[in-house]
Amino acid sequence: MGNFLRDEYIRNVTFDEDALQIISEYFIERASHLNRGHQTSEEKDHAFVTYIIRFDNKGYRFTSFGDVRKFYVQAKEVERVILSLKSIESLRSNRLFGTYMELRLDARDMYLVRQGVCSLKRPSKSGLDRLL
């Protein structure tokens, strides 16, 4: 079976934490669907979601969106959020086989910044109070 690769730059997009939550839910739903389809298969087909958030010159990798949300709200400046869906087989084969999907939201990518393309929006002060 063939592999599919698609790199796209999307312009003039701003993501807040609620939008990230919706995207995260889609990734989790997709992983669950893949895992249901491979219940009788070996462990190598197991799919899972990971997150990377880079903010205030620090970066963290998580497996729970709740942790990402916590740091997203606290951050002074969010530089990057990466959502990844991967399978054990994709990790073992360096993405040659298995399942892999990634969405990179990067406010610092020089191409995107020059074009005025991407920003990650923290909640307003009133929105922060509402969440806490």
Give the per-residue pLDDT at 106: 83
Cα–Cα distance, 126 to 132 (Å, whole number): 10
| Cβ atoms of residues 53 and 60 within 8 Å | yes
pLDDT in tens, 46-74: 899 999 999 999 999 999 999 999 999 88
Closest by alpha carbon to 52, among 16, 20, 26? Answer: 20
Domain boundary assignment for the chain: 13-131
Longest dimension (CA), the chain: 51
Give the residue, 38 or 19, on which the prediction is more confident: 19
| Cβ atoms of residues 99 and 60 within 8 Å | no
Cα–Cα distance, 103 to 84 (Å, whole number): 6
Assessment of whether the complete model's pTM goes beyond 0.85 = no
Give the residue, 9 or 40, on which the prediction is more confident: 9
pLDDT mean over 109-130: 49
Cα–Cα distance, 35 to 30 (Å, whole number): 9
pLDDT in tens, 64-116: 999 999 999 888 888 899 999 999 888 888 888 888 889 888 887 655 444 44
